[in-house]
Structure 1
Amino acid sequence: MNKTTLLAVNGTLMCGLELNGNMTAAGGVFVREDQTDPHYRFWNIGDRHPGMIRVTTGGTSVALEVWELPLASFAALLLSEPAGLAIGKVTLRNGSQLLGVLAEPRLVENQKDITAHGSWRAYTGHFHST
């Protein structure tokens, strides 16, 4: 029985960013950098974190990180995420799907669209080498 899952993250849980300590405290292990397929839009939520939603038109590929996370700590990590973020299936550029952090549509209302940046790191200027 698999006791871990892969989780795609696109914001402050990424290496070196504000909430990455929550990921590592939950036993998360960095696997790789990746990208979504070109069907996502991305918003800056209150200058604190991003929100990503899958769309039919007008999307782009969003840069993200894939982490391996113990199932036993999965719920605790999710509870530490900001309100309005949820887990859903994210489609990667190679067509595969895995669990990832997505925004509820109401969360992005009246927020700044940062889709053109393609990543939270590009938008904020916080780059990290893994």
Structure 2
Amino acid sequence: MSDLIEIVVVGAHLSGMPLNGELTSRGGVLRRAAMTTTDYRFYALAGGPPKRPGLIRVADGTGAAIACEVWALPAEGFGTFVDGIPSPLGIGTLRLADGTRPKGFLVEPEGLAGAEEITAHGGWRAYMAALAGRAA
């Protein structure tokens, strides 16, 4: 379906996560699970709920591959979805390990104040599982 716009999500919008309904209610369709290239650092941002991640691109090869999902939205749904994204998050072009360059969530550097770096977890689900393990 060429009238759909792909968007990469890395946190609370992943399937089964608290904000996923913001995609599905706009006609979003899960296209595939993916990994970014190794040019990203990943953070748990201060504030919430819900807890939110921040993905930031760094110099080539100085980051890690981060697990993500690629969703597709109709143009109108994409527009209303992007319009509701709160600062310091924004939409930019992500580089995925499969060679594609869809739009996706990034965080502005100022949003990292008070954030916890979670790059070593490799993705939001692993980080959330680690948090749940700490709480148990």
By the TM > 0.5 criterion, same fold? Answer: yes
**Structure 1 runs of 4+ off > 4 angstroms?**
none
> CA separation in 2, counterparts of 1:72 and 1:110?
34
1:61 to 60, 65, 73: 65
Q: Does the residue aligned with 2:77 lie in a helix, a strand or coil?
A: helix
Identity %: 38
Residue 94 of structure 1 and its aligned partner are, at CA, apart by 2.4
| Amino acid paired to 1:101 | F
Q: Does the residue aligned with 2:102 lie in a helix, a strand or coil?
A: strand
> CA separation in 1, counterparts of 2:8 and 2:67?
10
- Equivalent residue number for residue 13 of structure 1: 13
Q: Give the structure with the larger strand fraction.
A: 1
1:112 to 108, 116, 121: 116
Give unmatched runs, 5+ long, in structure 1: none
| Amino acid paired to 2:14 | M
> CA separation in 2, counterparts of 1:40 and 1:96?
15
Give unmatched runs, 5+ long, in structure 2: 131-136
Q: TM-score, normalised by structure 1?
A: 0.90
Deviates more, 1:40-49 or 1:5-14: 40-49
Aligned residues: 126
> CA separation in 2, counterparts of 1:124 and 1:118?
11
Residue 25 of structure 1 and its aligned partner are, at CA, apart by 0.7
Q: Does 1:49 align with 2:52?
A: yes
> RMSD of the alignment, in Å?
1.7
- Equivalent residue number for residue 88 of structure 2: 84
Structure (1 or 2) with the larger CA radius of gyration: 2
